Structure 1
Amino acid sequence: MEIINKKARWIPVLAPLLLLVQACLMQEDWEVPSSECVSELSPNITLREVLDSYQGSTQEILDDWVMEAYVISSDETGNFFNTLHLQDRIADPEGGIQVEFEFRDSHLFFPPGQKVFLKLKGLFLGKSKGIFKLGSSYTSFGNLQVGRIPKHAVGNHVLKACEAPMALRPKTVAIPDLTSQPANTLVRLENLEFAQELLDSTYAQSEVPTLRRLLDCEDREISLMTSGYSDFYEKTLPAGMGPITAVYYPEGGKALLVVRSEEDLDLTAERCEELITEFTSDSLIFSELADPDNNSAARYVELFYAGDQPLSLNGWHIDRYTNDNTERGSSIDLSDITVNSGQFLLIASNAAVFQEIYGTAPDIEGGLNSPADSNGDDNLVLVDPFGTIIDIFGIIGEDGSGTAHEFEDGRAFRKEDINKANPVFDPSEWEVFNDTGASGTVNQPQRAPQDFTPGSRG
C-alpha cells in the first residue's frame, strides 16, 4: 500500500509535467521564424565573397559574417521543397546559392524578390554536384555534407529585411550562354518549346523528379526539371513556343531549368519553323587519293568543294569498302565541317605524319584502317545526309587490284575540269598512278611529298 500511495502521490505532479512537455513538442513542431523584419543589420560580406571562400570541401563558417541576398524561388506549388534559392542582386547577379532548411510554406515569409539577411556563423558551406549550398551539417560515409537548418534555428540565421519584395529582373540569355551565367540565379530564355515527341506528356511522373527536353528555334537543347510532388506535375506540357523564366540549376554539369510554377512558362506562340540543318550538293567531290610508295602513314583523302555558297556537312560521311567487300568496313563522319566555295578538305590517316611530310595540318585525322588509310585497292564513297551516294571512286564489290581504280603505292587525281560529283565511277575523270599500270593507269609509283599536291588541284 505504501508503494501504491507513493505512486499515487506522484500522479498529480507528473501529469502537468507531461502536458507541458507535450505542449512544448507541439509548439516546436509548428514553430516558424518570426514574421518581424529587421532593418538594422549591415552586411559585411558579399555572396560572391562567400562562394570564393570555399576551399573544396564542406566547411563551417566561424566568422561573424552577415550577408544580404534576394529570394528567387518559391515553394508555393511544391516544385521547390525545404530549400531557399538566393542571388546577390535583383538584376545581373554575380552569384547564387541554395539554402537548405526545414521550413514548409516558406513563400509566406520569404516571397520572390524579398531581401533577406543571413547570419552565417555556425552554418556550413558546401558544394554538391556543382551547386553551392548553405545549411547545417551531417556525415555520410565519413564525409561532411550540408544538411537542413532545423526549423527552430532558421530564425537565427535567415532574417527578412523590412523592405517590401522587389520585382526581380531575370537576365535574358541564350542556351549557349548559360555556362557563363552563375548557378542558382534567375534567368529568362526566349523562344523555347518542348520537343515534339513530348507534346502529349505531363510535366513529371508521380513522386519522381523528371527531365523534359526543351529546344530553341535553332535546335539547341536544355532540360526542364520538375518535381513529381509539385501541384502541376500531372498537367500536360504546353504545345506552343515562348519565353521561360526559371532558376538556372546546372546540377552535375548538366544545364537544367527549374520553374516556380506554370506561370513561369509562357509557351503560347506558334511553334518554331522546322530548322533545316542537312543539305545535299553535287559540288563536293573526291579530288585526290594518296597511298605514297615510300610512307604508308602519309596516306590521305582530299575533297574539293566547287559550290558557290557555304555547305554544312552535317550528316555527310565517307565510307570505305575494303577490297571486294559489299559491306562498309569503316567510315568518317564529316558532320562538324562546313566548307566554303573553293575549299579543300584534307583527311589524313595520321595527322602528325601528314604535317611532318607535307608541311600543313589536315582538317581531320581519320585514323588507322579509316577511308583515309586505303592501300589503293579499296572503294570509297561520299554519302550525303539522306543516304545518297554523291561521289565514288571504284566499284563496290570489285577489288581494285589490276583495275582502272587501283592506286596502290600511288595516287588517284581528279582531272581539273571535273567539278561535279558522279555517283558512278568513270575512269575518264581520273589520272591514276600505281605500281602495275593495268587498265589504262600509269605504272609510276608516287613518293611523298614531291609527287603529291594536298590542298591544290594543280
Structure 2
Amino acid sequence: MKTKNIFKIAALAALFATATACVDNNDYSIPDTKVQEPAIKVTNTIQSIKSAYTGSGIVDFNKVSNGGDMVIEGYVVSSDEAGNFYKVLNIQDKPVNPTAAIQIAVDGFDLYNFYEVGRKVIVKLNGLGMHDNNGVLEIGVINGTDVQRITSTEYKKHIFRSTEVAEVKPVELASINDIKDTHIGMLIQLKDMQTVDKDQTYANINNTFSVNRMFKSCADDATIIMRNSGFADFKGQSISNNKGTVTAVVGKYRSDLQLFIRDTKDVNLTENRCDPLFEENFSANNFNQWTMQDVTGAQSWEIVNFGNPKPSAKISGFSSGAKENEDWMITKAIDLTGITGAILTFDSVKRYSGPDIEVYFSTNYNGGNPNDAANTWTKLNPTLDTNTGSWTSWTGSGNVDVSAAAGGKLYVAFKYVSTTSGAATFEIDNVKVAAK
C-alpha cells in the first residue's frame, strides 16, 4: 500500500514538472498557475487618473472617487533585480503599443520577485494619492500634504498580481528628440545610440553615488542622460564605445528626460560609432582644418562672431560696391579609408543678391590653385539658404552623398563668386562629414 502511494506521488510530481516546464512566462498572455486572478473590477485607465492631476499639489483618490472604487491595471516594465531601480514600480497600460504609464512608489526591496517584468497588476487606488515627483507623476500613500512610498506592510493590499505575464515590447523611437513627456514611465527603445564620451563605466567603481552618462542619437546628435545607480550590480562594467540600441524606462528630473536601464542586457552596442570623420563649427576661430585659396579679388573668407550658433565662416565680395571675387574654402584631406559611404552636412545663410555659393568635392586636390587642370571637382547639390533678407534664416544642407570618395581621400570645397553686378554675403557653419 505504501509502495503504491509512493509511485502515485512520484507520478504526480513528474506530471507537474512536465506541465510547468511548458510554461514560458516571457510569452504573451501566459497565465501564472501559481497566482489566482484577483476578483477586482478595473474602473479607470492609467491616462484617466493622470488627467486628474492639475499641475500642482496632490491628488487624493478617496476624494476623486466620491465614495466609489478606483482601480487601474497595467504591465510592469521596471525591475530592481540589478539594483538600478529603487523602491519604484513602473507600469504601462499595454504590453505592446502603450499609450500611458505611471510610477508607483513602494517601500520594498526585491520587488522583481513578486512583480516581474511583464506581470499584469491591478492597483486599488483608494487610500492612495498622486503627486509630481520632480517631473514624474507618481502614486503613493498620502502623508499630510505629501505623497510617500506605500509601506512594506501595505503595498500588497493595493497592488495585486494578475495571472497574466505578457511579453513587453518596447516602443521603438528613431531619435532622442522623439521622446515626449507621454513616454515617461514607459519602456522604449532607441536605435543608433552611443555614448558622448568613450571609455566610461556605468557608474563610479569606488563609490555609491548615482551618475549621469550622456548618450547621443546618431540621427540628429540629440543627447540624453542615462541615470545609473551607484548600487547597481553593473556599476563597474564598461559601456561599449560602439553604437547600437538602448532599451530603457523613460524618467525625468525637473526638465531633463532620462533613461533608466534594468540591466546591461538593455544596452546592445555592437556597430561602428557614428563619430564624424570631419567636423567644423569654427569655435577654434581658425582655419587650421582648411586650405584657403583666393583666386580673384581682394576679399577673403573670415571667421565672424555670428553663426548657428556663433561663430561661423563668412565671405562677401562687397566693399564700397560689388567686387569681382573667386574664393575657395577647401577642407584638408578627410580620410575615408575603410569607409563604404559618407554624408556631408552643413548650414548656410545668404544675405543680399548675388551668385549662390557652389559646393564641390574632389579625391585628388593637389593643394594649389583649385582651377588647375590636375584637380578633378564634382559639383554637389545641397540645399542652400534663399532668404536674402534675413541673417537668421540658417538652412540645413540636407544629407549630401559623397560616397564616391569612399575608400580614399575626400576634399570638400565651398566656392564663392561675386561680380561687379552682384555680391552676396554667405556664412557657413557646422560642416560635418560622417560615415553612412
Q: TM-score range by the shorter chain?
A: 0.5 to 0.7
The code of the aligned residue for 2:109 comes to: R
Aligned to 2:58: 58
Identity %: 24
Shift of 1:242: 0.9
Shift of 1:303: 7.3
Q: Is the 8 A contact 1:285 1:304 kept in 2?
A: no
Alignment counterpart, residue 286 of structure 1, candidates 308, 313, 316: 316
Scaled by the length of structure 1, what TM-score is found?
0.56
Inter-partner Cα distance in structure 2 for 1:181 and 1:147 = 23
Matched, 1:233 2:235: yes
Shift of 1:309: 5.4
Inter-partner Cα distance in structure 2 for 1:42 and 1:53 = 20
What is the correspondence of 1:272-421 to structure 2 with a 5 Å cutoff?
A: 272-274=274-276, 276=278, 278=280, 285-286=315-316, 302=352, 306-308=356-358, 340-341=383-384, 343=386, 345-347=388-390, 363=393, 415-416=420-421
Inter-partner Cα distance in structure 1 for 2:387 and 2:155 = 66
Question: Runs in 1 of length 4+ with deviation above 6 angstroms?
Answer: 279-284
Shift of 1:77: 0.5
Inter-partner Cα distance in structure 2 for 1:419 and 1:213 = 41
Shift of 1:40: 2.2
Structure with a larger share of its residues in helix:
1
Structure with more relative contact order (C-alpha pairs < 8 Å, separation 6 or more): 2
Aligned to 1:167: 167
Shift of 1:287: 5.7
Aligned to 1:119: 124
The code of the aligned residue for 2:150 comes to: I
SS in 2 for 1:160: strand
Shift of 1:96: 1.1
Q: Is the 8 A contact 1:246 1:259 kept in 2?
A: yes
Shift of 1:177: 0.8
For residues 309 and 92 of structure 1, do their structure 2 counterparts lie closer, same or farther at Cα, with a shift above 3 Å needed?
A: farther
Inter-partner Cα distance in structure 2 for 1:128 and 1:274 = 38
Shift of 1:209: 1.6
Q: Is the 8 A contact 1:288 1:302 kept in 2?
A: no
SS in 2 for 1:306: coil
Inter-partner Cα distance in structure 2 for 1:227 and 1:207 = 7
Aligned to 1:249: 251
For residues 304 and 159 of structure 1, do their structure 2 counterparts lie closer, same or farther at Cα, with a shift above 3 Å needed?
A: farther
Shift of 1:148: 0.5
Matched, 1:178 2:147: no
Aligned to 1:105: 110
Aligned to 1:45: 44
Shift of 1:154: 0.8
Inter-partner Cα distance in structure 2 for 1:275 and 1:126 = 47
Aligned to 2:306: none
Inter-partner Cα distance in structure 2 for 1:72 and 1:116 = 11
Q: Is the 8 A contact 1:303 1:344 kept in 2?
A: no
Aligned to 2:224: 222
Shift of 1:278: 3.9
Matched, 1:71 2:76: yes
Shift of 1:188: 0.3
Inter-partner Cα distance in structure 2 for 1:289 and 1:76 = 69
| Unmatched tracts of structure 1, length 5 or more | 1-34, 291-299, 311-338, 349-361, 365-388, 392-412, 422-458
Shift of 1:181: 4.3
Inter-partner Cα distance in structure 2 for 1:303 and 1:179 = 41
Inter-partner Cα distance in structure 2 for 1:37 and 1:264 = 31
Scaled by the length of structure 2, what TM-score is found?
0.59
Q: Is the 8 A contact 2:79 2:112 kept in 1?
A: yes
Taking only aligned residues, the RMSD between alpha carbons, in angstroms, comes to 3.6
Q: 1:341-394, CA deviations, whole angstroms, 9 ceiling, x for partnerless residues?
A: 58354457xxxxxxxxxxxxx749xxxxxxxxxxxxxxxxxxxxxxxx999xxx
Aligned to 2:89: 84
Q: 1:380-435, CA deviations, whole angstroms, 9 ceiling, x for partnerless residues?
A: xxxxxxxxx999xxxxxxxxxxxxxxxxxxxxx972266899xxxxxxxxxxxxxx
Q: Report which of the two structures shows the higher radius of gyration computed on alpha carbons.
A: 1
The code of the aligned residue for 2:140 comes to: G
Aligned to 1:402: none
For residues 55 and 220 of structure 1, do their structure 2 counterparts lie closer, same or farther at Cα, with a shift above 3 Å needed?
A: closer
Inter-partner Cα distance in structure 2 for 1:248 and 1:305 = 49
SS in 2 for 1:266: strand
Inter-partner Cα distance in structure 2 for 1:154 and 1:267 = 37
The code of the aligned residue for 1:91 comes to: V
Inter-partner Cα distance in structure 2 for 1:303 and 1:209 = 55
